[in-house]
Structure 1
């Protein structure tokens, strides 16, 4: 297990990585479904949603960056990766209990399984790659120590919010501490592709969530012109968000400004969480078209506003000049946040779709010479 090259040609996601991502589809679907239920019931469980989503995102992200540096694709590597996949499924099985009664035991067991598999991967890298041994050992020790903290928090404090915040800070600090000294050789275009694939997964979950709303509306015979309008606008909104995300040349930006990778990588938590939450909001908006309360409008508008804001924030340090001018972003976010004050849930979905479509169009008009800006050459 020697470190892979930073500028390795033809570096793309492996079939194992794609299978790994598929297991996260189940976990994300579980957490978005529970959030949709809380929105429909009128008591939105934002904190619980963010807690569970953090465990999903953080485990995915840690494996992704490790694989970019040390993917050997041999038997042992595949087996340990599959152990992490099993942990994802255990975590997903615990989401309903966590949402219903705050019982995070099963979620935590799944998380610990995922993290244990990664600790063994780092120990193997330390053993077989002397050049990066100190860094790999720091990762292994830091991750293992954080897992002890999670167990103690669950036993002693029932995973109370202050403990959760403290342990999240510890988890986030491990990579910064481990990378002091010899740094891992992650591949910028590979990382950009992996994040893009996870964004697609979340957009796909939004399509699935919206389709659940369509099924519920059809089953209850609530099909109307407003229903067709909100369902169509929701689909257009997702298409436009996909288009906007991939207008940003992340691979080239990470290659040229590796020092900003932490802000880019960590900042995606809020961007990804917004996409997941949007799916829940769209599901309820489609299902309850004619009698959706104002809170449903905010359940759509707030995630869109967070997505637009975070998309600019994470890319501004690595893409110069920014793909989307800041003034465009500020105007779009202001309009989106104002929509629930004056429009019904149907109008909010339609308005958000119109705003993002106009934003995509404005960016394309400003960059007529750029072809497929979100895609980089496989020879890079």
Structure 2
């Protein structure tokens, strides 16, 4: 028996009220909320980032093993920038506007799908300069961000100019990326010239939008989120140490793999310790410092994942799978460690330490470059941690 017209209208009304109740306004979050922490959805989002970062680090590892140094490093920087920039933009938005309603969750999942698409295209990008999947995934991520910013513009009237600037700016830059994809970019130099312009456009969007009014991001939440991504990045070094241990054969024992595994663990623990030391990150919410701190972490993330790729290259050389010089493999680890030290100095130490203490990380960055292979890197990393610990201890007793 067919339902009557009033009954159908009643059911439609109930369905409408259900969705109306469940969709929350995307109002600004409380910037002073206590104990603000990463949500399960954000942690799931980070899990997707793991896959993309691992793909980029693997691409760098194989490029170095095949002696494609300039090509591999350039593509690695491009891939990590795309992954980091997509992660960073979502993270700062969620810190300010995450209302955890169904539409926010669904748009976040669209962003994750875009990130997986991007990750799937990284190997083709390294092998053939085919960046179709990378751009496709990236554009999916960014268009979902446009939808999120438009939701924020609807409900946060006080910052409507800021949120609309984000939405319009992001959308326009995506037109540029699509145009770059359609253009003839078979030349590596031509591609990276166009890519550099795209980076400049992307970086300019937050800098211009935030001048209309600062979004209500939560300082402690942002600091935690950046720290969590750094742990993910350092996981590449842990993976390389595991690869070294896997090469150990009891029938033909090679102590070099043991030294390599120990060295990778020592350096991993040192890099973690230095980042999560006592010094305060992001001391205030001034726009200039927020941009320097937020953007400057790209160096830390690039370097952290590259350390793992450098150790993986050393495993290949010792196992006879690559003819690359062991000296080059040494610098493939040493230079990223030095850059990691410099990145921490750039975003944190130069703001919070005295004139003498702030020079510790730059000094040890130089020592890392001239240290001997394998054991030398781990030894200098340990000395760096000990010096920072002593510095903090002396500061606390004064």
TM-score scaled to structure 2, two decimals? 0.86
CA distance in 1, matches of 2:386, 2:350: 23
Residue of structure 1 equivalent to 2:108 = 81
Structure 1 residue runs without a partner (length 5+): 372-380
Query: Which of 125, 139, 143 in structure 2 is aligned with 1:116?
Result: 143
Match of 1:374 in 2: none
CA contact (8 A) 2:248 2:258 kept: no
Superposition deviation, residue 331 in structure 1 = 2.5
CA spacing shift, 1:317–1:365, aligned 2, 3 Å: closer
SS of the residue corresponding to residue 42 of structure 1 reads: coil
Q: How far does residue 336 in structure 1 lie from its aligned partner after superposition?
A: 1.2
Larger RCO: 1 or 2 (CA < 8 Å, sep 6+): 1
Q: Which has the larger radius of gyration?
A: 2
User: Aligned pair in 2 of structure 1 residues 207, 84: CA closer, same or farther (>3 Å)?
Assistant: same
Aligned residues of 1:132 and 1:182 also touching (Cα < 8 A): yes
**CA distance, structure 1, for counterparts of residue 350 and residue 362 of structure 2:** 17
- Matching of residues 18-37 of structure 1 within 5 Å: 18-37=43-62
Greater CA drift, 359-368 or 8-17 = 359-368
Choose which of 302, 309, 329 in structure 1 pairs with 2:361: 329
Is 2:241–2:262's contact at 8 Å kept on the other side of the alignment? no
Residues 278, 392 of structure 2: 8 Å contact kept:
no
Worse-superposed segment, 155-164 or 99-108: 155-164
**How far is 1:356 from its partner?**
1.5
Matched, 1:304 2:304: no
Deviation digits for residues 78-107 of structure 1 (CA, Å, limit 9, x no counterpart): 100010001111111101100001000011
User: 2:82, 2:385 → 1: CA distance?
Assistant: 32
Query: How much has 1:27 moved relative to structure 2?
Result: 0.5
Question: 2:211 and 2:301 mapped to 1: Cα distance?
Answer: 27
DSSP-derived class of the 2:314 partner: helix
Q: Alpha-carbon deviation of 1:317?
A: 5.1
**Displacement after TM superposition at 1:48 (Å):** 0.6
- Please tell me whether the aligned partners of residues 189 and 250 of structure 1 are also in contact (alpha carbons under 8 angstroms): no
Shift of 1:129: 1.4
Q: What's the secondary structure of 2:183's corresponding residue?
A: helix
Shift of 1:157: 3.7
Displacement of 1:300 after TM fit? 0.5
Matches within 5 A, 1:164-243: 164-215=195-246, 217-218=247-248, 223-243=253-273
Deviates more, 1:161-170 or 1:362-371: 362-371
Q: 1:5 to 1:369 in 2, by over 3 A?
A: farther
Corresponding residue pairs, total = 361
- Does the CA-based 8 Å contact 2:279-2:349 persist in structure 1? no
| Distance in 2 (alpha carbons) for counterparts of 1:141 and 1:155 | 22
1:285-318 CA distances to partner (integer Å, 9 max, x unpaired)?
Answer: 1342377521101100010010011110111354
Do 1:336 and 1:355's aligned partners in 2 also have CA atoms closer than 8 Å? yes
Alignment partners' CA distance in 1, 2:287 and 2:279 = 14
Q: Structure 1 pair 258/136, CA: closer, same or farther in 2 (3 Å)?
A: closer
1:376 maps to which residue?
none
What residue in structure 2 maps to residue 43 of structure 1? Answer: 68
In the other structure, the counterpart of 1:55 is 82
The reply on whether 1:95 has 2:127 as its aligned counterpart is no
Equivalent in 349, 352, 358 of residue 319 of structure 1 = 352
Q: Distance in 2 between matches of 1:48 and 1:14?
A: 32
1:288 aligns with 2:317: yes
Name the CA shift for 1:363/1:333 in 2 (closer, same or farther; >3 Å): same
Q: 1:316 to 1:367 in 2, by over 3 A?
A: closer
Counterpart CA distance in 1 for 2:251 and 2:309 is 21
> What's 1:67 paired with?
94
Aligned partner of 1:254 among 283, 299, 311: 283
Q: Distance in 2 between matches of 1:143 and 1:222?
A: 56
- Residues 160, 248 of structure 1: CA spacing in aligned structure 2 closer, same or farther, 3 A cutoff? farther
Structure 2: tracts of 5 or more residues without a match: 1-25
Q: Residues 308-347 of structure 1, C-alpha deviation per residue, up to 9 Å, x if partnerless?
A: 111101113542448x9243223312221113xxx4xxxx
For residues 36 and 222 of structure 1, do their structure 2 counterparts lie closer, same or farther at Cα, with a shift above 3 Å needed? farther
- Using the TM superposition, give the Cα deviation of residue 55 of structure 1 relative to its aligned residue in structure 2, in angstroms: 0.3
8 Å contact 1:25–1:205 — kept in the other structure? no
Q: 1:274 offset after TM fit, Å?
A: 0.4
Q: Once structures 1 and 2 are overlaid, which stretch shifts more, 273-282 or 329-338? A: 329-338
Alpha-carbon RMSD across the aligned residues, in angstroms, is: 2.1
Greater mean alpha carbon deviation, residues 261-270 or residues 313-322: 313-322
Tell me: CA distance 1:369–1:75, structure 2 relative to 1, closer, same or farther (3 Å).
farther
8 Å contact from structure 1 (residues 202, 276) kept in 2: yes
